[in-house]
Structure 1
């Protein structure tokens, strides 16, 4: 389709384009792109052979989103800084080694530099005070610029699969940071998934059926598990990891976290670890959920940046909202007691059933928390408590209830504010769970 898009672009028949998607082996940006300088807002150049951008790129003065992932850049192009309207920039999976000390777009709030070769970032990047989402997994970073301490709006940060021996001292003091992943660093040593006690299930015992879903880290399929011993096959879900770097980090770290998390009523039960895959892939065998389970919300889009997308008019009863919140708090208690932080406590990672059951489904951002420093351990928990507070706010904003229920709502609104307050004053998950258990919706 991208080749067709290029042909349409070059034909001159495209008028007032707001978005262009061009992925067809380009070695340079077609000059015809600039014929849309008065209208173009999204330029997607992912999957080409580009190593530079044209010097007159700022002519696209309405350009808000620029994707240049899966190309051949070795240096982050300085011309990007001259595009004053840019809010989202993606250079995932290039070979970038250098990010110059340059001016960055003042409106930049979402920057993706995942899967490159970056060892240092410039202090000037800290001038992007609107930054909300910063994706840096899969590089060679050992530290972050001190100027990042002024990222008062930063909410999601991915640092997985780098070389951090210590976390920046100011990191847990960022007032809005809620979603953090840093697995695969020396600061967060993780056990090998092979060393975690778990049933081994040979690939030959699994008969795959239909695809249930696909994410950045793997594919989930329905399957029949033939466990032998004359027993009937069991319907299960099988997740086979892709083995590639994702924005959250490495799939092997996700697998280790999923195994180490253990059992909980709000998890999808892990039944075993796949062995003898014909291509050497890692994978998990899990319980198959009822068809009635649905995602609580959709993931953030370009506009919402860090906020999940709920379908129009979606509402919850007070009892449902309270039950989901209590389940999420219970998961927080369970994981942090095991030395794990989820890193991705989001509504789009929660499957919910009409009968009130819910399941946390994604461990892609999970991190083994450094042990031995109680202050840091609690600070990281309070960081994740902010994510819980945002989830609680979203539930309450869509909550239906009459006056008789207002006391419970007011109590949860107070809790919500506390969870999103000053980092050092936020409650821990055990306190949150106790409070929610005391509320009768």
Structure 2
């Protein structure tokens, strides 16, 4: 965090990044002193409702965050910023998105948790768009012009007022990560899942929370001791936040977790918290061995839709076992009518020997009821995400010998990312193919 005092004193001259959160009601003109260097500007958490008309003077600006400010309209001046690629206006009060507000080089647009009812047709001109975050708005439809955004890979449209998924959306050539829960078209299946909840209640007073193991957009995971009758068990407890997240609604995530069933590559759900003093929601889950770690880091500003690789390799044989396990659990989820929506290496925990579990159901959605064609199309979209995972596993196993698992995974990966979604294999075939490869490894 920077200070307005340092900015005005010239102590930030030459800065490439600037973050100011000081209750600002107006855009500080001193920011223009950084015009020749500034690339990332974060003005989140202030009281801004407009941006200056000469904002394009920041001619190197690539990333702009203005989340948590009382904007009513996405500022039209954004469309005149020549290098602007990432725009974040989360949790403002935006009702209208003018066509003129869309920058020509836009790659990543975040409008989560606003009041947008209509997207302009001009979104179709943003042909570089890769990531579009629209959860928690009031959209009743998506503009068909969005079909021209053939580079779009990640789309979050959960918790809106959509009445269906348009056919053109399911045919986008690069779409891989899709979240749509909490819309009217899937309300019936979500309500049925909540009504069929058979999870054992775990009394809050029987849990003793310990250290935090992790925190995501939808909740916080604690290590805990569960006094289960005469037995004390070490468990993990996920306490859900109440607000809409970048992926959707936490309660939808909980419903999907409870509906996912049992699988060796899922973290077992042991029960649902009952009697929380603040009426909060949470799940009690099995505690994963401390040796397990994330397969990768989440995407960065630069990588946009690709995970950031950690510094350790994965042996090709272990990579093959990971791939088979994730294909198996993805096949299982789709058989339960669930689209994970966030099948990424950073949501996979592994022990280094090929044992892996898939987590983070924040973007998961139930298949639209009564539409087997859409269910298969959604699975083929997720297969593309699996193809991106295979690509990373192949790269991480670069020290392995040519031929064998490494070459086989590379060949399978190419099929999974075919630009024609209908040409991609389904997870049942992938699981079988990877099983045969494992037998020959």
| TM-score, length basis structure 2 | 0.96
Q: How does 1:258-297 map to 2 (within 5 A)?
A: 258-297=257-296
CA deviations on 1:237-290 (whole Å, 9 max, x unpaired) are 111011111100000000000110011111111100011111111000011111
Partner residue in 2 for 1:329: 327
CA root-mean-square deviation: 1.3
Tell whether the 8 Å contact from 2:77 to 2:100 is kept in structure 1 after alignment.
Answer: no
Partner residue in 2 for 1:411: 408
Partner residue in 2 for 1:97: 95
Give 3-state SS (helix, strand or coil) of 2:50's partner: coil
Tell whether the 8 Å contact from 2:89 to 2:111 is kept in structure 1 after alignment.
Answer: yes
Give 3-state SS (helix, strand or coil) of 1:102's partner: helix
Give 3-state SS (helix, strand or coil) of 1:213's partner: strand
Deviation at 1:101, TM superposition (A): 2.5
Tell whether the 8 Å contact from 1:42 to 1:64 is kept in structure 2 after alignment.
Answer: yes
| Cα separation, 1, equivalents of 2:255 and 2:20 | 37
1:226 equivalent in alignment to 2:227: yes
| Cα separation, 2, equivalents of 1:6 and 1:366 | 41
Deviation at 1:400, TM superposition (A): 4.2
CA deviations on 1:119-151 (whole Å, 9 max, x unpaired) are 001011211100000000000101111110011
Partner residue in 1 for 2:240: 241
Tell whether the 8 Å contact from 1:343 to 1:366 is kept in structure 2 after alignment.
Answer: yes
Q: How does 1:45-56 map to 2 (within 5 A)?
A: 45-56=43-54
| Cα separation, 1, equivalents of 2:43 and 2:404 | 52
Tell whether the 8 Å contact from 1:193 to 1:252 is kept in structure 2 after alignment.
Answer: no
| Cα separation, 2, equivalents of 1:215 and 1:401 | 33
Partner residue in 1 for 2:216: 215
Partner residue in 2 for 1:425: 423
Deviation at 1:354, TM superposition (A): 2.5
CA deviations on 1:46-83 (whole Å, 9 max, x unpaired) are 11111111111111000000000011001110011111
Partner residue in 1 for 2:61: 63
1:350 equivalent in alignment to 2:348: yes
Tell whether the 8 Å contact from 1:224 to 1:234 is kept in structure 2 after alignment.
Answer: yes
Give 3-state SS (helix, strand or coil) of 2:382's partner: helix
| Cα separation, 2, equivalents of 1:107 and 1:97 | 23
| Cα separation, 2, equivalents of 1:205 and 1:50 | 46
Deviation at 1:103, TM superposition (A): 5.5
Partner residue in 2 for 1:187: 185
Deviation at 1:10, TM superposition (A): 1.7
Tell whether the 8 Å contact from 1:193 to 1:255 is kept in structure 2 after alignment.
Answer: no
Partner residue in 1 for 2:106: 108
| TM-score, length basis structure 1 | 0.96
Tell whether the 8 Å contact from 2:320 to 2:405 is kept in structure 1 after alignment.
Answer: no
Give 3-state SS (helix, strand or coil) of 2:132's partner: strand
1:307 equivalent in alignment to 2:306: yes
Partner residue in 2 for 1:369: 367
| Cα separation, 2, equivalents of 1:127 and 1:355 | 46
Q: How does 1:168-207 map to 2 (within 5 A)?
A: 168-189=166-187, 190-191=190-191, 193=194, 195-207=196-208
Number of residue equivalences: 435
| Cα separation, 1, equivalents of 2:138 and 2:98 | 16
Tell whether the 8 Å contact from 1:103 to 1:124 is kept in structure 2 after alignment.
Answer: no
Partner residue in 1 for 2:158: 160
Deviation at 1:401, TM superposition (A): 5.8
| Cα separation, 2, equivalents of 1:38 and 1:429 | 50
Give 3-state SS (helix, strand or coil) of 2:21's partner: coil
Give 3-state SS (helix, strand or coil) of 1:188's partner: helix
| Cα separation, 1, equivalents of 2:302 and 2:405 | 32
Evaluate the alpha carbon distance shift between residue 387 and residue 107 of structure 1 in structure 2; reply closer, same or farther with a 3 A threshold.
Answer: same
| Cα separation, 2, equivalents of 1:10 and 1:17 | 13
Partner residue in 2 for 1:78: 76
- In structure 2, the gaps of 5 or more residues are none
Deviation at 1:412, TM superposition (A): 2.1
Partner residue in 2 for 1:125: 123
Give 3-state SS (helix, strand or coil) of 2:185's partner: coil
